[in-house]
Chain A
Amino acid sequence: MADPTSTFSESWYRVANQRLCLRPGVRVRRQNFRGERWFVLENPFTNEYFRIRPEAYEFVARLDPRRTVEDVWRECLEKHPDDAPGQEAVLQLLSQLYFSNLLQYDQATDATNLFERFKKRQQREWRSRLLNIMFMRFPLLDPDRFLVRTLPVVGKSISWFGAILWLVVVSAGIKVVADNWDAAKQQSQGILTPENLPLLYVGMILIKAIHEFGHAFICRRFGGEVHTMGIMLMIFTPMPYVDASSSWSFRSRRQRILVGAAGMIVELFAAALLAFVWANTGQGTLHSLAYNMMFIASVSTVIFNANPLLRFDGYYILSDLIDIPNLTQRANKHLRHLAERGLFGLTKSESPARTTSEASWLTVFGISSGIYRLFVFAGILILVADQFFLIGIVMAVVCFISWVTVPIFKFIKYLASSPLLDRHRPRAVAVSIALAAVLIGVLQFTPFPSHFRAPGVVQGREWTQVVNETSGSIVEILTPPGQLVRAGQPLVRLESKELELAIAQARAQQVEIETRLRAVVSKDASGIKPLRELLGSVTNRVAKLVTDQNSLTVRARHDGLWIAPELKDARTRWLARGTPMGLLVNPATFQFTATVRQEEAQALFSQKLTGAEIRLHGQAGRTLATKQWEVIPGGQRTLPSPALGWQAGGEMPVAADDKQGVRSAEPFFEVRAALPASEEIALLHGRSGKIRFDQPWEPLLPRWIRSLRQMLQKRYQL
């Protein structure tokens, strides 16, 4: 395009004698942004908006079918010799008004042209829908009439009274949750478990519908029309949405902010009400649903909707708060300007920011939202590829194309052919290549710390199970569990009536044989020998039974910590011989038994590990360094503790049919690492934690490629 600043244009003749004006019905609103005045033109029939500067408005406002464009332009030029738009600028302005259907003209339009435009627009919409495949929108209905009809009722709540009511209810809700904090916290752990997901989703739909109606009602309350409501596929999850963009033309900033915040306001209100329901119902569907909805309406709202870095409500609120419309585009433009000026040496590049404070806002926002988006998109990519299998891979490829390939391609095109760069192309190309080379160099060649982690449990290295050698029922716990005991110290006393009877019987038998023996000695010498033998065996039996009786008192075999958490319940219960009652653990020597997944096996066996650190749950701030460990070669399938498996909330997938939750779904490798004694960390048998193995430093890129390949191999057997 020709330079928009130039006063004269070669194409001026095409409009010079036209008689144009704004369409009747076009609304004009004045807005202030950062102390600057703007005019928003709104076409109420198409809901199209166009924002222009006062100089341009000065021109547009003068347009009148009784005068030609040329006359109007000259008049502007006389009134404001400096600010009046040049011919080129007028041409652009008129064409933009025309494209936004805001212009009234007397010539009949070329119908083919209009049709072309319509087709192109449809194409563009479809293309952007495909590119935004993660946030696809399907408009369904026009809620405006419904809103207008219900507004007299609902609108009453949008008032000071409503605000106070809101404050009261929300505070009460917070109090209820605070009172039941433990329960709330505990229930939150189960929120993402598979059985809860359907309920969570139902809750989400309900809450988001309320949220969207919040936007719609408040927007309607301030006079903005709301014509589109529909379904948005957010990462393939259908969600309701409403188009409240008519609020952008509101003159009052406060109103715009309020429309943006409406969704969250309503949600928080709902969350407070649901908190009462949740707190006052017993276990059941209603209780869970209330909890789920409450959780979404509060936590997810604050995390997602209020976050200005993604384009949700928070973004629009922030954009109004700091008075910079089109924040993302302007931030991107500003960053590009910084790059063009700083890196490419384009002195002519102009920043969209008009003040330094705006420039700094744009810089900060641009960079932070850029980085944040990078992470979110990477997360979505991985999630999608991970969750949806083959379709997931296709989707991931599409996303990769639209988020990575297309921008890179565009950038290359910009480098190669942007007229802006004409004079600085060599430098721009050199700088870009250098930066790309540095980036790739850093990723490919600069080693970074490299670790992998594995879950595990603390186990005493010397530990024995305390079992009863004789059947019996517990009558007395001689040493309460949890104490340090010495070898031989009695722990538990059992009682066995049967054994006592057996002893008594055996003793009686013994007496009988002795008596018979004495009788035989005097009468028949030949009968002595069998009787003596019989006596011997009976005597032995007695002795054994007595030993058994002694062993009814279970004693510590060695020094150690006496652990028996379930002993209390076992009182008076009959214990068959060999029933484990508890553990005797040597507190001086603990080991950490970790389960390493197959993906990390190569690193594990590579012998290059430089060290390891262990952190235990609950005391993650403290680390235990260890240098000694041994790997049990050969895959295992039985977890050292059920705590590591999925069923108990651990990380290791376990076989679904295993009720005990110790049989892992895939083989793993067991690593036993020595645990140094530490005063700060209570080493308790069975305490779970994580071990982090330090690998030699390694550049990032090969590492990423490896994990990608491993993921593909594992998921898709590629």
Chain B
Amino acid sequence: MLTPTVDYRRTAHRVPERPHQGLDAAVNWCIGRYQRRGARLTELLHSANLADARGSEFKDLRDHDLQEKLFALRDTFRREPTPDHDTMLAALAAVREAAHRCVGLRAFPVQLAGALALHRGCLAEMATGEGKTLTAGIAGVLAGWTRHPTHIITVNDYLAARDAEWLRPLYTFCGVRVGCVTAQLDAAGRAREYDRDVTYTTSKELLADFLRDRLRLGALRDPSRRLIRRMLQPRNAVADGLVQRGLHTAIVDEADSVLIDEAVTPLIISAPRKNELLREAGIYAAKIANELDSETDYRLNQRFREVELTDEGRQKIARRCDSLPGIWRGEARRTELVRIALTAREFFQRDRQYILADGKVVIVDEFTGRPMPQRTWREGLHQAIEAKEGLEITDPSETIARMSFQRFFRCFHRISGMTGTAWEAAGEFWQIYGLPVVRIPTHRPCIREQWPDRFFAREFDKWNAILEDIEQLHAKRRPILVGTRSVAASEKLAGLLRGRGMEFHLLNASRLAEEATIIAIAGERGRITIATNMAGRGTDIRLGSGVAEIGGLHVIATERHESGRVDRQLFGRAGRQGDPGSAQAFVSNEDELLRRYLPKPLSGALNSGGTTFSATAVRLAQRQAQHLAFKQRKAVLRADAWLDEALSFAGE
């Protein structure tokens, strides 16, 4: 039975506030600082310990009695999603007990603190291997009890299915129906799974379904209008075939990746459509671009990744365009097209930003190093790269709906998340999503040794030093994980190691199939694994037998990343769950980070400076890069908000 209320909730979502500006932003910043205060964590841990102490209340209950208590709690939560402290503690203790019985793991107090933080709408920073899945499960039970649509968002389909399956006994035991939506599921299945109390899925599926539902509804997206329509035309079914039942609560795993790094890439629902205009334009532009020379015809701006045409270049283009059709006669249009082609040539390199697979351009994610087959670059650029590679130019698909994840996740009433690295971006989490970051300590102290960065003036010296380092450590039989930033760099290192006759495993975007097997053995004695940053997030490298005694896993970062978080993710592979381990980064002044983000005079001085100076420079460059990225993301958000307002005559 579709009551008006249920129908209303289906499409009702929070209307996000506009980003703060001016004095408001300043006040908001202060509130954010207050929200992140240390006392918050103390209180969380205290509550978790109290809940831990109450464990005895439930320990000796029979399953049936425990379940009765749980159902009673469920009723309380349904009436009052944020019940009083005492009920909350009882609920935590009870669910923990249930988890112990159903999945065999007993949550540590820090995990309870994490679950509590999630329930309160915080972002919990928890290291890898600290049992984030179980934490999310406990929080998921609490959220599921409320019967508000609850979505637990994982990084990929595999994890969504695995987590849902693993925790299903717990959910069932607690009286919560759990579902899981993955890419293969058909519409009917999706509707069924979304109807469950708690749904495990990925952000892509969730947003895509959201957009598709909206498209289906069209102007009837507005619940009041839908209601009127139903009263006027009772027989004409509206809102048929919707799969979701509204947005309310989201628990986001790897929140920094989803909410920050990938936040501005929009998800696009599109339909392919012939576009001769753009196809031809792409081919011509690539031809013309090939005739232009750097310096004389155009100049590059490394930092902003832009091409500026010189007057000479413009003239050359003009001469070349005389014989070309319509669109090429206008100065502005042709300059734009050629500039895109030049950008494609100069700033987009194969095996760095993209790879070729099956005669197609596949974008490689800059942060994770994973190939993203669905992604395309903005209009024209993708075609320009295809033209440059001499591939057949695909028709740009026609966008029907699009939305950035950033905007999407702002539409939830209650959002919370977990990740290993959040603190660096705490300001952004607060400003964009209103998420205060809480740093949950590890259950066992982390004993990973962070060795100081090593600095080199030239890239060549850096690679040599890395090789020597690998040889030395390899001689001790310690397993080594070497992280590179790009596919190209990983291939280069592979070549160098091969030259020295060393054995290793290579894991990058073009060798995805072997990922699981490579990771499974990466912690064994004497293993050398080269991986792009993809091996960073979420991968749990377990140590082989006897490895802990010789010092555990050693992680080498061959370059510092723009974001300190990504570095920390990589280093975090070593020393998980109180294991021993060590990590070290190698930096050269010729690295992209320093070249792009340091002011020129400073990078000149760097070559003569000492180590402390270099360390400061790296920090400075990273801060600069993060600042710039944040500013861009904020600009996207603002532009989105503006566009929404400006084009509200066209519907959303």
Report which of B219, B326, B399, B635 forms a contact with A419, defined as CB distance below 8 A.
B635
* A15-B647, A81-B330, A95-B646 as given contacts; A6 in contact with B219, CB under 8 Å: no
Does B503 belong to the interface (CB within 8 Å)? no
Task: List residues of chain A with CB within 8 A of the CB of B303.
Answer: 423
Chain B nearest Cβ from A24, distance in angstroms: 16
Query: Cβ of B646 and Cβ of A98 under 8 Å apart?
Result: yes
B651 at the interface (CB under 8 A from A): yes
Q: What CA separation (Å) do A576 and B336 show in the bound complex? A: 105
CB contacts under 8 Å to B, within A61-93, are 77-78, 81-83, 86, 91-92
Q: What residues on A are CB-neighbors of B1 within 8 Å?
A: none
B379: Cβ under 8 A from any A Cβ: yes
Cβ distance A423 to chain B, nearest Cβ, rounded Å: 7
For residues 314 through 341 of chain B, which have their beta carbon under 8 Å from a beta carbon of chain A?
Answer: 326-333, 336-337
B452-486 interface (Cβ within 8 A of A):
none
- A82 CB contact (under 8 Å) in B15, B278, B330, B398: B330
> Nearest CB to that of B648 among chain A residues?
A113
Q: A1-B639, A7-B336, A13-B400 are in contact. Are A107 and B649 (CB under 8 A)?
A: yes
Q: Is B301 in the interface zone, CB < 8 Å from A?
A: yes
Q: Is A715 an interface residue (CB 8 A)?
A: no
A110: B residues at CB distance < 8 A: 222, 648
Whether the pair A117, B650 counts as a contact (CB closer than 8 A) is: no
10 residue pairs from A and B, CB less than 8 Å apart? A15-B647, A81-B329, A82-B329, A82-B333, A91-B647, A95-B646, A98-B646, A103-B649, A113-B645, A423-B304
The verdict on A81 contacting B225 (CB below 8 Å), with A6-B336, A91-B647, A105-B649 known, is: no
CA distance A107 to B51 in the complex (A): 54
On whether the beta carbons of A94 and B647 are closer than 8 Å, the reply is yes
Contact of A99 among B222, B301, B401, B646 (CB under 8 A): B646
| A552-599, CB < 8 A from B | none
- Given A82-B333, A108-B219: A11 and B327 interface contact (C-beta under 8 Å): no
Q: Report the separation of the CA atoms of residues A80 and B642 in the bound assembly, to the nearest whole angstrom.
A: 29
Chain A residues with Cβ under 8 A from B401's Cβ? Answer: 13
* A95-B330 CB under 8 A given contacts A7-B336, A13-B399, A13-B402: no
Inter-chain contact B647/A95, CB cutoff 8 Å: yes
Q: Does chain B have a CB within 8 A of A388? A: no
Residues of A with C-beta under 8 A to B328? 81
| Complex: A485 Cα to B329 Cα, angstroms | 100
The 10 tightest CB contacts between A and B, nearest first, are A82-B330, A95-B646, A13-B399, A8-B379, A105-B649, A81-B326, A113-B648, A107-B651, A18-B650, A98-B649
B residues in contact with A426, CB < 8 Å:
599
Contact check: which of A1, A417, A419 meets B642 at CB < 8 Å?
A1
Q: Which residues of A contact B512 (CB under 8 A)?
A: none
A107 engages B327 (CB within 8 Å): no
Chain B, 618-652, contact with A by CB distance < 8 Å: what is the 0/1 string?
00000000000001000100010011011111110
Which of B379, B635, B649 is in CB contact (< 8 Å) with A10? B379
Q: With both chains docked as a complex, state the minimum distance between the C-beta of B40 and any C-beta of chain A, in angstroms.
A: 31
Q: Bin chain B's interface residue count.
A: 35 or more
Contact of A12 among B278, B399, B599, B645 (CB under 8 A): B399
Q: Across the interface, which residues of B come within 8 angstroms of A512, CB to CB?
A: none
Task: Say whether B378 faces chain A, with CB atoms less than 8 Å apart.
Answer: yes
The secondary structure that dominates the B interface is helix
Assembled-state Cα–Cα distance A483/B650 (Å): 97
Is the CB of A5 closer than 8 A to any CB of chain B?
A: yes
**What's the least CB distance linking A123 to chain B, in Å?**
13
Contact A8 B402 (CB under 8 A): no
B380 interface contact, C-beta 8 A: yes
A15 to B336, Cβ gap below 8 A?
Answer: no
* Closest B residue to A103 using CB positions: B649
Task: Give Cα distance in the complex from A11 to B336, angstroms.
Answer: 18
A179 within 8 A of B: no
State the total of A-B contacts with C-beta under 8 angstroms: 96
Using Cβ atoms and an 8 Å threshold, which residues of chain A touch B332?
Answer: 5, 82, 86
State how many angstroms separate the Cβ of B483 from the closest Cβ of chain A.
31
A417 CA to B219 CA, complexed, in Å: 39
Partner of A107, one of B219, B278, B398, B639: B219
Q: A46 at the A/B interface (Cβ < 8 Å)?
A: no
Interface positions of A from 91 to 150, Cβ below 8 Å from B: 91-92, 94-95, 98-99, 103, 105, 107-110, 112-113, 116-117
Interface residues of A in 380-428 (CB under 8 A from B): 417, 419, 422-423, 426
User: Which B residues from 196 to 232 make CB contacts under 8 A with A?
Assistant: 219, 222, 225
- Contact with A423, one of B15, B278, B301 (Cβ below 8 angstroms): B301
Chain A residues with CB under 8 A of B266: 10
Please tell me if the beta carbons of A422 and B646 are within 8 angstroms of each other in the complex. Answer: no
Q: Is A14 an interface residue (CB 8 A)?
A: yes
User: Which B residues are in CB contact (< 8 Å) with A112?
Assistant: 15
Beyond contacts A7-B333, A423-B303: 11 other A-B pairs, Cβ-Cβ < 8 A, are: A5-B336, A9-B379, A13-B402, A14-B647, A14-B650, A16-B398, A82-B329, A94-B649, A112-B15, A113-B645, A423-B301
Most buried by A among B378, B398, B648: B648
In the assembled complex, the Cα of A1 lies from the Cα of B637 at a distance in Å of 11
Residue of A nearest to B396 (CB): A8
Q: Who on chain A is nearest to B330 by CB? A: A82
* A525 in the interface (beta carbon within 8 A): no
Question: Does A109 contact B333, Cβ atoms closer than 8 Å?
Answer: no
Query: Which of B219, B326, B639 interacts with A2 by CB under 8 Å?
Result: B639
Digitize A522-544: 1 where CB-to-B-CB distance is under 8 Å, 0 elsewhere: 00000000000000000000000
Q: List, in ascending order, chain A residues with CB within 8 A of B333's CB.
A: 7, 81-82, 86
- Which B391-411 residues sit within 8 Å CB-CB of chain A? 398-402
CA separation between A436 and B23, bound complex, in Å?
A: 26
Tell me if B326 and A422 are in contact (CB < 8 A).
no
| Across-interface contacts of B599 in A (CB, < 8 A) | 426
Which residue of A has the minimal Cβ distance to B399? Answer: A13
Q: Which of A7, A98, A422 has the most chain B CB within a 10 Å cutoff?
A: A7
Q: Which residues of B contact A83 (CB under 8 A)?
A: 330
Q: A8 to B332, alpha carbons, bound, how many Å?
A: 12
From A13, A95, A419, give the contact of B398 (CB < 8 A).
Answer: A13
- Closest chain-A Cβ to B306's Cβ sits at a distance in Å of 9
User: Which residues of chain A from 1 to 54 have any CB-CB distance to chain B below 8 Å in the complex?
Assistant: 1-2, 5-16, 18, 20
Which B residues touch A1, using CB under 8 A? 639, 642
* Bound Cα distance from A223 to B618, whole angstroms: 68
The residue of chain A having its C-beta at the shortest distance from the C-beta of B325 within the complex is A81
B219 and A8 contact, CB distance less than 8 A: no
- A 270-291 to B, binary, CB cutoff 8 A, 1 in contact else 0: 0000000000000000000000
* Contact assessment for A105 and B329 in the assembled complex, using a CB-CB cutoff below 8 Å: no
B530 to chain A, nearest CB (A): 36
What CA separation (Å) do A2 and B331 show in the bound complex?
19
Across-interface contacts of A11 in B (CB, < 8 A): 402, 643, 647
Give A20's nearest chain B residue, CB to CB: B649
A82-B335 Cα distance, complex, nearest whole Å? 12
For A91, list chain B residues within 8 Å (CB). Answer: 643, 646-647
Closest to B601 in A: A426
| Cα(A423)–Cα(B599), bound, Å | 11
Closest B residue to A74 by CB, please name it.
Answer: B277
In angstroms, Cα B380 to Cα A8, docked, is 8
Contact check, B331 vs A82: say whether CB atoms are below 8 A apart: yes
A2 (CB) vs chain B CBs: closest residue: B639
> Do the beta carbons of A10 and B329 come within 8 Å of each other?
no
**In the docked arrangement, what's the CA distance between A82 and B332, Å?**
7
**Which of B225, B304, B400, B642 has a CB less than 8 Å from the CB of A422?**
B304
A residues less than 8 Å from B380 (CB atoms):
8
Residues of B within 8 A of A95 (CB): 643, 646-647
Nearest Cβ on chain B to A104's Cβ, whole angstroms: 9
A116 to B635, CA, bound (A): 21
Query: In B261-280, which residues have CB < 8 Å from any A CB?
Result: 266, 278
Minimal beta-carbon separation of A332 from chain B (angstroms) = 21
In the complex, the answer to whether A15 meets B650 with C-beta atoms within 8 Å is: yes
Scan residues 313-349 of chain A and give those whose CB is less than 8 A from a CB of chain B. none
- B190 to chain A minimum Cβ distance, whole angstroms, is 24
Tell me the complex Cα distance, A98–B599, Å: 43
